[in-house]
Amino acid sequence: MYVGFIGYGSMGSMLIKNFISKKALYPKDIVVSTRTKSKLEDLKKEYPEINIAENNIDLASKSKYIFICVKQTEVKGVLTEIKDILNEEKHIISLAGAVTIKNIEKVFNGKISKITPTIISEIGEGITLICHNCKVEDEDKKFIESLLLKIGQVKRIDEEDFALAVELTSCAPGFFASIFEEFMKSALRHNRSLREEEIKEMILYTIYGTSKLFIDKNITFNEVIDRVATKGGITEEGVKVLREKLPNIFDELFERTMNKRKMIKEKADELFQ
């Protein structure tokens, strides 16, 4: 039986290409279906052995594990389309964060997992969040999680914790990119002779090195601050500004994103009524 992927957008294509490049799956073991077949032309040229399904029903009939990589508003339609093919051996893996396992079970009362990768899974880093319903057996958990371990760390959590955890994993690269973009713009406004590319390079290598320091040395945020921001020194002045201004900014960030997530979930729930 194949591993199937319904949908070939940014996440679907990322998973397929990374599973192949990391040798988690061979192209011959994968079957793909998407509404716009032309999207798959380059994929087929790159991996001639990959299987292209005629439609979602064809894919579901051939696959044991079915990754659903479509928009949240399209999940119910896909499930409804393939439900007559699904049986107790099939295993649905949904990437739709706002669609709950409980809602999926209204259409298919079988093995269901929910995952949220991150953009940095592209380079084999970051954390993929995962949860399973009670129908998923240990063997299935092991298989799915072994695939995901090829593209980064895997963290199994309760579904109720997804809302916050997604902010810290999948959304965070966007937040961090925004923060450091503003950091770079401010540096440019205070700059005399350094080129933008030079400033960007300094920031990027410092971000990379600081992250590596935290992980390799297993030290805390405060330990780094204490080592760099000496009493009465220049860094201490900057840290004072950040500690004064950032708490309110980050509180607002979480309030607004969590509220937005709640609204999207409510709309997704309505589709399954």
Q: Are residues 44 and 81 in the same domain?
A: yes
Q: Are residues 46 and 74 in the same domain?
A: yes
pLDDT in the model for residue 74: 95
Q: Are residues 81 and 165 in the same domain?
A: yes
Q: How far apart are CA 173 and CA 150, in angstroms?
A: 20
- Domain identity same for 190 and 202: yes
pLDDT of residue 38: 87
Counting the structural domains of the chain, the total is: 2
Question: Residue 187: which CATH number?
Answer: 1.10.3730.10
Q: Give residue 210's domain range.
A: 172-269
- Residues 232-254: b if buried by 16+ CB within 10 A, e if exposed: eeeeeeeeeeeeeeeeeeeeeee
Verify that 38 and 100 share a domain, yes or no: yes
pLDDT-derived band at 200 (thresholds 50, 70, 90) equals: very high
Residues 64 and 190 reside in one and the same domain: no
- CA 167 to chain CA mean position, Å: 10
Same domain, 60 and 126: yes
Radius of gyration of the chain (CA): 22
Region 61-90 average pLDDT: 96
Which of 169, 196, 229 is the endpoint of a domain? 169
Q: Identify the domain boundary among 136, 169, 202.
A: 169
pLDDT at residue 226, rounded to an integer:
95
Q: Are residues 205 and 264 in the same domain?
A: yes
> In this structure, are 47 and 83 located in the same domain?
yes
One domain for residues 129 and 245: no
**Buried residues in 40-56 as b, exposed as e (16+ CB within 10 A):** beebeeebeebbbbeeb
Got the DSSP string for 210-269? Answer: HHHHHHHHT--HHHHHHHHS-TTSHHHHHHHHHHHHHHHHHHHHHHHHHHHHHHHHHHHH
Instruction: Please tell me the chain's helix, strand, coil percentages from 3-state DSSP, rounded to the nearest 5.
Output: 60, 15, 25
| Tens-digit pLDDT profile for residues 89-135 | 999 999 999 999 999 999 999 999 999 999 999 999 999 999 999 99
Provide the token pair at 211.
């992250």
Residues 129 and 7 in one domain: yes
Examine the domain organization and report whether 111 and 182 are in the same domain.
Answer: no
Domain termination residue (choose one: 169, 195, 225): 169
Tell me the pLDDT band of 273, cut-offs 50, 70 and 90.
confident
CATH assignment of the domain containing 122: 3.40.50.720
